[in-house]
Amino acid sequence: MKSLASALIFTIFVSQSILAQDTRTEAKKYGWQKEIVGGINLTQTSFDNWAQGGENSLAWQANLNLKFINDREKTNWANSGKLSYGSLKSADQAMRKSIDEIKLESVFTYKLAKFVNPFAAATVETQFAPGYIYDDDSKRQISAFMDPGYFRESIGLNYQPNQIVNTRFGASLKQTITSQYPRPFADDPETQDKTEKFKSEIGAESVTDINWKIAENTLFTAKLELFSTFQSFDETDVNWDTILTTKMSKYFNMNFNFKLFYDKDISSKRQINQAIALGVTYSFL
């Protein structure tokens, strides 16, 4: 839980720092804002009669980030997507998945006031390919596309003091669907006589987005998602995803991604995914 506390404190600190710095007023531009940015990173090493030792390796990762925002005088409809997939090969091992994520989000906000407004949102999360646990000479599949799949719908209030920070809070429904791999994602361990492949939860959700251009060539983005069921309000699911991107030239950038995930139903410990990549990026729109 120390990681959860650190995530909350860090996000609040950054948000307050941004609020203090962002005092500029810009003319409002209405209409569609479209952005599709893709990138690919590749790492390869090879050894032949190398006296100091080493193992041949190959790793690659592809990312695609999408944003389609329709901002009007009275409404804002923001759609975003994050698609990531990568794999690696070391020595004589077969290719293994290193990262795999599909996340789509749509948020509709009706503007009644300057900073605080009602919203309705929907989110979908899953993965592209099967996931495995590897032993010495074998592997065991534990997940697949839409197995599990996560869906969330929420309504509440949206607070956006500027173009960098956006926070929303409200009531939320969360569904988890599975097929071949219900445990530990959807199955209720207290029901010994049956295996559930679908789980529905109702609770409170908080989502904070930060999109901060620190310098001309450096962008910091973060999304902190918190969800608590009304039945177990003291247990909070956490999904904290931060990306720091530095653009070194028109097509090359360096990317640092840190992701923290905590869901007591899946694991009693927090899960961490961290990656540093140097590669090619391209803006389609």
Which pLDDT score, from 0 to 100, does residue 190 have?
82
pLDDT band of 248, cuts 50, 70, 90 = confident
Nearest to 281 by CA among 82, 38, 10: 38
Nearest to 147 by CA among 117, 118, 185: 185
E strand spans, 111-197: 116-126, 131-134, 139-143, 149-159, 165-177
Cβ–Cβ < 8 Å for 237, 204? no
pLDDT band of 4, cuts 50, 70, 90 = very low
Which pLDDT score, from 0 to 100, does residue 21 have?
52
pLDDT digits 0-9 by tens, 145-168 = 999 999 999 999 999 998 899 999
Per-chain mean pLDDT for the chain:
87
Helix ranges (H only) for the chain are 2-21
pLDDT band of 3, cuts 50, 70, 90 = very low
Which of 10-19, 181-190, 202-211 has maximum average pLDDT? 202-211
Distance CA 150, CA 163 (A): 28
Q: Is the pLDDT of residue 1 over 50?
A: no
Cβ neighbours around 263 below 10 Å, total: 19
Cβ neighbours around 103 below 10 Å, total: 18
pLDDT digits 0-9 by tens, 178-205 = 999 999 999 988 888 889 999 999 999 9
Element (H or E) spanning 107, and its range? strand 96-110
Transcribe 201-264 into DSSP letters. Answer: EEEEEEEEEEEEEEETTEEEEEEEEEEEESTTTT-EEEEEEEEEEEE-SSSEEEEEEEEEEE-T
pLDDT band of 282, cuts 50, 70, 90 = confident
The residues with which 200 forms a beta bridge, in sequence order, are 175
Indicate the pTM of the whole model.
0.83
pLDDT band of 14, cuts 50, 70, 90 = low
Cβ–Cβ < 8 Å for 285, 34? yes
Distance CA 90, CA 269 (A): 28
